[in-house]
Amino acid sequence: MSETILYLAPDGNNANDGVAAPMATIEGAVARLREMRNRGTLRLPARILLRGGVYHVAKTIELDTDFPLTIAGLEGENAVIDGGYELSNWHEVMINGKKAWQAAAAFPVQELYYKGKMLKHAAFPKEGMYRVRNTTSPWGGGLFSGGDHFTTQEGSYNPKWHNPTGIVVFMTHKWIEEHLPVKSFDAETGELYSTHRSTFIMTSNDTEYRFENVREALLEPGEFYYDSTDGTVTVILDNRLEADGEHPVATHVGNLLRLNNVRYLNIRNLSFKHGGGYRPTCTRRYDIPGKNFINFAMQETWLDEHSEHPFAAAPQAAVQVPGTIFLYKSTDCEITGCTISETSWYGIETSAGCSNILIDHNKLFELGAGGVRIGGAAVNDPAELRTSRVTVTNNHIHDGGLVFASGVGVLITHAFGNLVEHNHIHDLFYSGVSAGWNWGFGETVAKENRIGWNLIHDLGKGILSDMGGVYLLGIQPGTRVYSNYIANVKRRYYGGWGIYTDEGSSHVVVENNICTDCSSEAYHQHFGRENTLRYNIFAFGNDAVLAIARGQEFAGVFPGLNFSNALSSYNNVFVTNGRPFIRSGNEKHLQRPTFLAENSIFFNTEGEFPSIAVSGEWKCDLDEWQKRGFDRGAIIADPGFNDLSKRDFSFGKDSLLGRLGFPMLDMKEVGIQ
């Protein structure tokens, strides 16, 4: 018996039969299939095939199907699910002495796209950022003591700017960004007050900001300004807006597609554009109208009683931001061959209660946050809401963090048994792949996550701090990081690392990776337990090649009584251009049981051979290093790479590594296959 197929077209009609004449909407076609099932005429598996063209949606497509169904674009045609609102009736105006275009908007415009690119908010300064002078907080001290006001850099704010309450302070510090709407300004003290509270304390050491959506800053092509006093949008473009040409598009719908209690659904060969229609608030529940989904990545301890000052950002990874495609309590589904672009949120999210999900060969770019989110219930939450066994393979994720700079390429929070392989991730402002969501040694859901064969490069870009090409957090037995190529992770103030085992990372194996050209170290461990490095190539860290931040200060809170080393390094290659090989903030951290190193290969490409290990003024050469019980089989020699100047880490059989039988990472196998 043949399957049931219904066809859709942008000019279709849901009254049509879907065979001889196409229907119009996915929801209409699903309703027709349900009717057929009730009548006993539905032949499974079923398919809904979309002909090429743009399918405009004014609200989220929400599905709750439980029978085998494929929703796909016809091969060779481009079917686009578009949640944008194209502004029309543009007219030419003069603003700030510049020719511009202006149109009325039916709703507040926070993000605007034109010809596939996000336009910039008119902002000051035009280059760089201003710096906070000082701040006081009524909510105590410490990192999480953000406030609702700060003292501006002298002369940075002009109280005569048009519509001050329409201006937003975009702020960066530590590893996050914040969006603080302006409430008022005290001209005598220079203090600016916001309707929101910053998540982190604002200090002159590392807190920088700019003013966005300033009418007086609308000066350059590619910028826009939204005026909440009259509901108009004004843009400066390189070209003239013709009546029948392409016009700027505002994001209007949040989730474009939401799967709620869905089984056996395949989404294939579709394009999704212009999702994420607003900036979500930071609460324990997703900011999705009409839904009560818990966002388990937003920990309850992060939220306090000061509800009159909502938080301006999540403390990490922009986890207040949902996915444009959003799955809840859904299993045995696939999203393959799709394109998600020009969205203000994450691309795809498998949230609470999801399992056996395949996300493969998708293109995710021009993203407000990151690419893919995976996460569900934590240890003390209902077990039926845990998330596991999500496969993320062969996806191209790039040009993200355009609104929420702390968005991650692939983010795994409370989830286990996931596979992240053969992805190409680049041009983000924060981490490439992140796994784990527990700071310290407490029990966690995250375990047995596998991260391998990914090509990860050009992250950070000097905007945020404290990130890794691969970032790990908390106890994760069975988690492996293997055969990845990671390059060019650039910090703002500190922490541009290739692979980063952060607070409490434990029982992780890191093997056969290449990490190179990072602005801190190729590998960094904050603190953890029984992590193993083997057969990696760590090269060209700006500060050192490998670093350990802490030693046994946390030994008393290790679960269990017996452990060997916090970090063990076996048969790794360390390449430097004059920088130290190993660094720590305390000499005691470079001894057992914190650290063990065996059979390292050290190579310096230039100048006098550097110290093996350093900590402040203390330096250690190879003789002393070996007297301490480290690297008794160490080799100081050229490993024999084919061309380090071009970062070609391959080697021949006759090279040192070839003779030693060192496993070579085949770059043809890394990235999308």
pLDDT digits (tens, 9 = 90+) for 12-24: 999 999 999 999 9
Q: So what's the pLDDT on residue 300? A: 81
Cα separation of 327 and 90, whole Å? Answer: 38
Q: How confident is the model at residue 114 (pLDDT cuts 50, 70, 90)?
A: very high
Of the candidates 504, 509, 497, the residue with the CA atom closest to the CA atom of residue 468: 497
> Could you tell me if 159 and 204 lie in one domain?
yes
**Residue 607: its pLDDT value, please?**
85
Work out the number of other CB atoms within 10 angstroms of the CB of residue 383.
10
Could you give the CA distance from residue 278 to residue 652 in angstroms, rounded to a whole number? 54
| 653 occurs within a structural domain | no
The verdict on residue 105 lying in a domain is yes
Q: Does the pLDDT of residue 360 top 70, yes or no?
A: yes
Question: Do residue 37 and residue 130 come from a single domain?
Answer: no
554-565 pLDDT per residue, tens: 666 666 666 778
What does the alpha-carbon distance between residue 79 and residue 268 come to, in Å, rounded to a whole number? 10
442-494 residue pLDDT tens = 899 999 999 999 999 999 999 999 999 999 999 999 999 999 999 999 999 99
Percent over 90 (pLDDT), the chain:
90
For residue 26, being part of any structural domain is answered with yes
CA nearest neighbour of 597 among 571, 618, 624 = 571
Q: What is the pLDDT of residue 513?
A: 98
Whether the per-residue pLDDT at 290 is higher than 80: the answer is yes
Cβ-based neighbours of 661, under 8 Å, separated by 6 or more: none
Query: Does 188 lie in the same domain as 138?
Result: yes
Domain check: are 77 and 91 in the same one?
no
Beta strands in 274-386 (DSSP E): 323-328, 331-336, 339-343, 346-350, 355-360, 363-367, 372-374
For residues 56 and 21, what is the distance between their CA atoms, to the nearest angstrom?
Answer: 19
**Do residues 508 and 476 touch, judged by C-beta distance below 8 A?**
yes
CB contact at 8 A, 153 and 130: yes
- pLDDT for res 141: 67
Q: pLDDT band for position 40 (50/70/90)?
A: very high
Q: Which residue carries 């909502």 as its tokens?
A: 310
Please report where in the chains the tokens 């910028």 appear, as a residue: 223
Residue 615 resides in a domain:
no
State whether 77 and 97 are in the same domain.
Answer: no
Q: How far apart are CA 545 and CA 612, in angstroms?
A: 10
- Tally of domains within the chain: 2
Last residue of some domain: 229, 245, 261? 245
Pair (92, 75) in one structural domain: no
- Same domain? For 227 and 177 the reply is yes
Q: What pLDDT does 298 receive?
A: 94
Under the phi-then-psi rule, with left for phi > 0, alpha for psi from -120 to 50, and beta for the rest, what region is 469? alpha
Could you tell me where the beta strands, DSSP code E, fall in 58-97?
A: 61-63, 69-73, 79-82, 84-86, 91-95
- Report the side by side order of strands in the sheet with 223-227: 91-95, 98-104, 232-236, 223-227, 120-121
- 587, part of any domain: no
**CB-CB contact of 510 with 536 (8 Å):** yes
Based on the domain organization, do 47 and 135 belong to the same domain?
no
Give yes or no for a contact between 293 and 268, defined as CB atoms under 8 angstroms apart.
no
C-alpha pair distances (Å), 43 with each of 48, 51, 228, 579, 618: 13, 21, 52, 67, 75
Same domain, 64 and 182: no
**How confident is the model at residue 558, as a pLDDT?**
66
- Per-residue pLDDT for 136 more than 70? no
* Residue whose tokens read 């996300």: 359
> Is-cis flag, bond preceding 639, omega within 30?
no
Nearest to 295 by CA among 280, 304, 284: 284
Query: What DSSP element (H or E) covers 458?
Result: strand 455-459
pLDDT at 135: 73
Please state, in angstroms and as integers, the Cα–Cα distance from residue 263 to each residue in 62, 70, 284, 587, following that order: 13, 11, 26, 55
Let me know if residue 343 belongs to a domain: no
CB 459 within 8 A of CB 407: no
| pLDDT score, position 557 | 67
Apex 93 CA angle, 216 and 91, nearest 5: 130
Q: Is residue 593 reached through a cis peptide bond, with omega within 30 degrees of 0 on the bond before it?
A: yes
The β-bridge relationship of strands 79-82 and 69-73 is: unpaired
127-141, 173-187, 307-321, 337-351: the lowest-pLDDT one: 127-141
The 3-state secondary structure of 386-432, one letter per residue? CEEEEEEECCEEECCCCCCCCCCCEEECCEECCEEECCEEEEECCCC
8 A C-beta contact, residue 520 and residue 494: yes
**Three-state secondary structure along 509-577?**
EEECCEEEEECCCCEEECCEECEEEECCEEEEECCCCEEECCCHHHHHHCCCCCCCCCEEEECCEEEEC
Q: H or E stretch including 658?
A: helix 656-660
The domain boundary, picked from 44, 61, 82, lies at 82
Write the single-letter amino acid at 398.
H
Assign 306 a pLDDT band (cuts: 50, 70, 90). low
| Residue 97 belongs to some domain of the structure | yes
Do 8 and 73 share a structural domain? yes
DSSP 111-176: -EEETTEEPEEPEE-SSS-EE--B---TT-SSTT---SEEEPPTTS--TTSS-GGG-EEEEEETTE
**Helix, strand, coil percentages for the chain (3-state, nearest 5):** 10, 40, 55
- Please tell me the predicted confidence (pLDDT) of residue 555: 60
Note whether 13 and 123 are same-domain residues.
Answer: no
The answer, yes or no, to whether residue 303 has pLDDT greater than 80, is no
| b/e code 419-454 from CB counts within 10 Å (16+ = b) | bbbbbbbbebbbbbbbbbbbbebeebbbbebbbbbb
Choose one of 202, 223, 245: the last residue of a domain.
Answer: 245
CA distance 144 to 170: 18
Q: CA 526, 529, 533 angle in degrees (round to 5)?
A: 80
Question: What's the pLDDT score for residue 363?
Answer: 98
Q: Please tell me the predicted confidence (pLDDT) of residue 171.
A: 98
213, 167 in Cβ contact below 8 A? yes
Is 74 inside any structural domain? yes
Torsion angles phi and psi, residue 323, rounded to 5? -90, 145
Considering the domain architecture, whether residues 120 and 194 belong to the same structural domain is answered as yes
Region class of 651: left (phi > 0), else alpha (psi between -120 and 50), else beta: beta
How far is Cα 154 from Cα 656, in angstroms, rounded to an integer? 59
Look up residue 640 and give its two tokens: 């024999």
- Mean pLDDT (the chain) is 95
**Contact present, 542 and 579 (Cβ < 8 Å):** yes
Q: Is the pTM of this model over 0.95?
A: yes
Could you identify the residue written with the tokens 């399992």?
355
Strand, coil or helix: 598: strand
Which range of residues forms the domain containing residue 207? Answer: 87-245
